[in-house]
Amino acid sequence: MISLAINVGQTQTPEAVLFWVLGPLAVLAALGMLLVKKAVHSALLLAWVMITLAIFYIAQDAAFLGIVQIVVYTGAVMMLFLFILMLVGVDSADSLTETIRGLRPIAIVAAIGFGGLMISLLDRATLGRQLVGLAAANEAGNVQGLAGLLFSKYVWPFEIVSALLITAALGAMVLAHNHRVIARPTQRDLATARFRSGSLSTAAGLPGPGVYALHNAVDVPALLPDGSASEASISATLKARGDVIDSRPFQLKELEEDK
């Protein structure tokens, strides 16, 4: 039987208001993270959960951790997530079809069991304890108290964690390094390929765009000796956009005196 009646001490009223406003919002945002289709929306909801947790930390006399939570999580980690999302493709919506049959009901049942177990175990973890509060521990300030512990009792884990950070940075660099499988073609290779490509019409390079007395721009095709416009002289992008001007008005007209 799960009893929710453990009592480890009461908090002040303002904190209760804060909790009952932000706590349900955090849980709702976390649930939304599961249900929304797009990864970007998930990331935004997670950022909200993390901000809520930062406020909870500050409310619980952990000012340093609250600030670090905002700087590290909502600042660095979420930016990294969004950056990778941009790289992988923002529009990549998750397919919500089940690939393993019956996975979702099993997961939900297991989660309810697990959550119920944890909540019922919280009873025992807090059994017979009173809320001591951090007023005494934070007497010299929260940062000073944490620093005192970090640099005395926990100095060895602290060093190991710094080594871990450096290793992780190196590992990420090695993983993200892009090896070229094929050597980049040199100018000589490109020239050889041009001459061996069947027709020699483009061997000397493509013609430049139209340069006329009346008009001089990249959106006018050059005129070939027979008077026709050269398709190859304009960028394919301009052609696709439909920004190409007809070159006929710029053709050489018969001079007035010749008539």
Partner 1 sequence: MNAANYLYVSALLFTIGAIGVVVRRNAIVVFMCVELMLNAANLAFVTFARINGNLEGQVVAFFTMVVAACEVVVGLAIIVTIYRSRRSASVDDASLLKR
Give the footprint of partner 1 on residues 142-161 (CB under 8 A): 142, 145-146, 149-150, 153-154, 157, 161
- Give the Cα separation of 128 and 138 in Å (integer): 24
Residues 199-218 that bind partner 1 (CB under 8 A): none
Q: Are 28 and 36 in contact (CB under 8 A)?
A: no
Let me know the angle formed at the C-alpha of 95 by 89 and 98, rounded to the nearest 5 degrees. 150
Per the CB < 8 A criterion, the answer to whether 212 and 220 are in contact is yes
Show the tokens assigned to 251: 């053709």
In the complex with partner 1, which residue's Cβ is closer, 98 or 189? 98
CB of 222: closest distance to partner 1 in angstroms?
A: 39
Residues contacting partner 1: total by CB under 8 A? 90
Please, which of residues 175-194 interact with partner 1 by CB under 8 A? Answer: 175-176, 178
Q: Which of 70, 137, 218, 245 binds partner 1 (CB under 8 A)?
A: 137
* Cβ atoms 188, 196 nearer than 8 A: no
Report, in Å, the least distance between residue 182 CB and partner 1: 15
Residue type, 1: M
Of the residues 21, 165, 193, 217, which one makes contact with partner 1 according to CB under 8 A: 165
Q: Which of residues 31-90 bind partner 1 (CB under 8 A)?
A: 31, 33-34, 39, 42-43, 46, 49-50, 53, 56-57, 60-62, 64-65, 68-69, 72-73, 76-77, 80-81, 84-85, 87-89
Examine residue 126 and tell whether it contacts partner 1 (CB under 8 A). yes
Q: Which of residues 226-255 bind partner 1 (CB under 8 A)?
A: none
Q: How large is the angle between the packed helices 39-59 and 78-88, nearest 10 degrees?
A: 180
Give φ, ψ of 223 to 5 degrees: -100, 135
Largest alpha-carbon pair distance within the chain? 114
Residue of 91, 101, 128, 136 interacting with partner 1 (CB under 8 A): 136
- In the structure encoding, which two tokens stand for residue 47, read together? 């950022």
Stretch in the footprint of partner 1 (CB under 8 A) among 130-138, 210-218, 234-242, 251-259: 130-138
Q: CA-CA distance, 35 to 177, in Å (whole number)?
A: 34
